[in-house]
Structure 1
Amino acid sequence: MTARELHAAGISDPRLRAAYDQCRRLNARHGRTYFLATRLLPPQRRPAVHALYGFARWADDIVDAIDETGADRVAVRQRRAVALDRLGDDLAGGLAGADGAEPVVVALADTSRRYGIDHRYFADFLASMRSDLTVGRYATYADLRAYMHGSAAVIGLEMLPVLGTVVPSAEAAPYAAELGVAFQLTNFLRDVGEDLDRGRVYVPGDLLDAHGVDHALLRHCRSTRGSDPRVTSALREFEALTRAAYRRAAPGLPMLDPVARPCIRTAFVLYQGILDAVAAEGWPLHRRAAVPRRRRAAVAADGLVRVAAARLAARRGPGTAGGAPHSSSRPKEAA
């Protein structure tokens, strides 16, 4: 975390500064696309976004990234469940005012207090993380959407108080939630092969069935580094579902505080670029498609231009900045 960001956010306590810095490092290491977009936010808002992402990443790593090679699956699941429960207890204490044990909890609890973020969102998120320990497949898209309420939609809702809006937050909330879903669907499509290795398939079962795809065929394509027209057609339909989510989310962009729009617009464009890359490479299961560096740079440069214009308009007065913020993104209290 740069000293400038921490100072701008009014974060002076050494323990808090260290906690936010760890969250920033997690964001930079694991969320390249999202981290790039976050740098377009005003400095005082970046620490809160890093805290939200850092906590989510930490919980996700408990579910996915613990190296248990060769260990009994039941024992692994139990250890991960215990770790998630411990994280949940730590968070409950942190949100109630106790000192959190994990730095990500310390930063998240502080962000929640500063921006008045509904605690239910964190509970719903952890519930979805726990379901990943026992649920590996989803029969229908509706079933997948129910899971994504906690794993993705609430992330968009948590972000909204930090970003600020020019309309009542309740009006912008459905679009923020849908954008969280669109981002996660994008990740699912990009990571089909990696998720297979974790014993999960997020492409709905009825969609796969309609194209004659079963788990064995997916595993075959993954292990042979090959493709199959049935798998390709199923993933193409899943891509169409994902693009529809972006279309539903798009009307929410103008509802955001003008100085926050370039950040979210950049993420909006770059994540759809991941879809373009996956399609261009033929929906591969054996490698992760990525947006070309040149494309990322061009989108980021456009975002910087938009940031400069928004900040200039804001200095001239609320009437020139695309609307006066309705939901202030100023923290409720300073550290």
Structure 2
Amino acid sequence: MTVRELDAAAVHDPALRAAYARCRTLNARHGRTYFLATRLLPVDRRPAVHALYGFARHADDIVDDLDSTASPGERARALLALEDQLESGLRRTGAVTEPVILALSDTVRRYGIAHRHFTDFLASMRSDLTVGGYASYEELGRYMHGSAAVIGLQMLPVLGTVGPREEAAPHAAALGVAFQLTNFLRDVGEDLDRGRLYLPAELLAAHGADRERFEWSRRTGARDTRITDVLRAAAAHNRAVYRDALPGIAMLDPVSRPCIRTAFVLYSGILDAIEADGYAVLHRRSVVPRRRRAVVALDGLVRAVAARRAHRRAPGPVADPHPARPRVTAPVQKEPV
């Protein structure tokens, strides 16, 4: 399947093919929901999504890998080295040895993705090395602009839109934030083990809880209704962000909608699983049941096949002022990193 994807995307250079294959492996291994949804995209667009995910995952592993014995200083230096590679790749000013950067740089050039999205992303990754909590949703939102919203914005040129891209952009950013808020809820216990809590202090205080109580619950396995109230309120806030994101799906190229709709349904379904588990996320990881995942995936496949058939029957291309197909021959004007 990798060969077919790379051939369809007109990726022929052996080193570049190996780099994209590395990103695909990262997506398949660590992003089960994203990888499943990506398989619903037209085959020629999948390598670009793998490259975007592979870069994000690689940076996240530098910062968050619990199995690593690297010190905070070593992690900071590794992140700086990755940033140097990124700048060399995007500006074409030096040799790139990191495979995920090689694939990412190629994707950025093919689709004309704004360089600032990656700069903002790495800024948020750096903050994870020193920041362990947030006072308010407003403060957390500034962090999530770089860690989540820009992911949605990076994806838009690949997915394509049926109208002006700027109209879909706020919804794409909201979906990135919604996905990350779900991650924060699902992984709150693991994040505490890393010394972080992404639930704002103001939310905890509103329900009579604090960080120490969360750490006590994680350490002892004991439950507390105040913690449950915090998590329930956080889930309600998360669902509101999903509602803000939902209109953006209809703004995408029809052949891309099944992919994003499937990710939307599966990821928001994690909130249902958390609720069904009694908000026990400090003690176990909530997951969407396998049967539910299969039903959603099958529905997505049916929709994807129908969209591609309709696309082939259409008399002309989708009226998208920002085409989603790779621009291999036309040069893309660079913008500052």
| Correspondent of 1:198 among 194, 199, 210 | 194
Contact 1:40-1:262 within 8 A present in 2 as well: yes
Aligned to 1:208: 204
**Equivalent in the alignment of 1:111:** 107
- Number of the residue aligned with 1:300: 297
One-letter amino acid of the structure 1 residue matched with residue 13 of structure 2:
D
Normalising to structure 2: TM-score of the pair? 0.95
List alignment gaps of at least 5 residues for structure 1.
Answer: none
Q: How far off is 1:150 after superposition?
A: 0.1
Provide Cα deviations, 1:291-318, integer angstroms capped at 9, x if missing partner: 0000000000000110111111111116
Match of 1:143 among 139, 144, 167: 139
Q: Is the 8 A contact 1:125 1:154 kept in 2?
A: yes
Q: Secondary structure at the match of 2:235?
A: helix
Deviation per residue, 1:170-204 (Å, 9 max, x gap): 11111100000000000000000000000000000
Give the drift of 1:224.
Answer: 2.3
* Deviation (angstroms), 1:219: 1.4
Secondary structure, aligned partner of 2:132: coil
Quote the Cα distance in structure 2 between the aligned partners of 1:225 and 1:86.
39
Of 294-303 and 222-231, the range deviating more from structure 2: 222-231
Cα contact 1:77–1:133 (8 A) shared by 2: yes
User: Conserved in 1, the CA contact under 8 Å of 2:121 and 2:150?
Assistant: yes
Is 1:318–1:324's contact at 8 Å kept on the other side of the alignment? Answer: no
1:328 corresponding residue in structure 2? 323
1:237-284 deviation digits (Å, cap 9, x = unpaired): 000110000000011010000000000000000001111001110112
CA contact (8 A) 2:164 2:320 kept: no
**C-alpha distance in structure 2 between counterparts of 1:282 and 1:109, whole Å:** 43
| Aligned-pair CA distance for 1:68 | 4.8
Greater shift, 224-233 or 45-54, is seen at 224-233
* Whole-Å separation in 2 of the counterparts to 1:333 and 1:183: 31
**2:88 is aligned with 1:93:** yes
Instruction: For 1:289, give the aligned amino acid.
Output: S
Q: Quote the Cα distance in structure 1 between the aligned partners of 2:235 and 2:149.
A: 18
Alpha-carbon distance in 2 for matches of 1:334, 1:82: 36
The separation in 1 between residues aligned to 2:95 and 2:27, in whole angstroms, is: 23
Query: Match of 1:155?
Result: 151
The residue aligned with 1:7 is 7
Question: Equivalent residue for 2:334?
Answer: none
Please show how residues 221-300 of structure 1 align to structure 2 within 5 Å.
221-284=217-280, 285-300=282-297
CA-to-aligned-CA distance 1:200-246 (integer Å, 9 cap, x gap)? 00000000011111122111211222321000000100001100000
CA distance in 1, matches of 2:284, 2:294: 22
Task: Give percent identity, aligned residues only.
Answer: 67
Q: Distance in 1 between matches of 2:17 and 2:315?
A: 32
Cα distance between partner residues in 1 of 2:315 and 2:112: 24
Match of 1:173 in 2: 169
Give SS of 1:258's match. Answer: coil
Q: Distance in 2 between matches of 1:253 and 1:213?
A: 37
Measure the CA separation in 2 of the matches of 1:211 and 1:325: 47
| Partner SS state of residue 326, structure 1 | coil
* Displacement after TM superposition at 1:142 (Å): 0.4
> Retained in 2: the 8 A contact 1:163–1:256?
yes
Between the aligned partners of 1:226 and 1:275, the Cα distance in structure 2 is: 22
Counterpart contact for 2:149–2:172, Cα < 8 Å: yes
Q: RMSD of the alignment, in Å? A: 1.5
* 2:131 alignment partner, SS class: coil
- Number of equivalences: 328
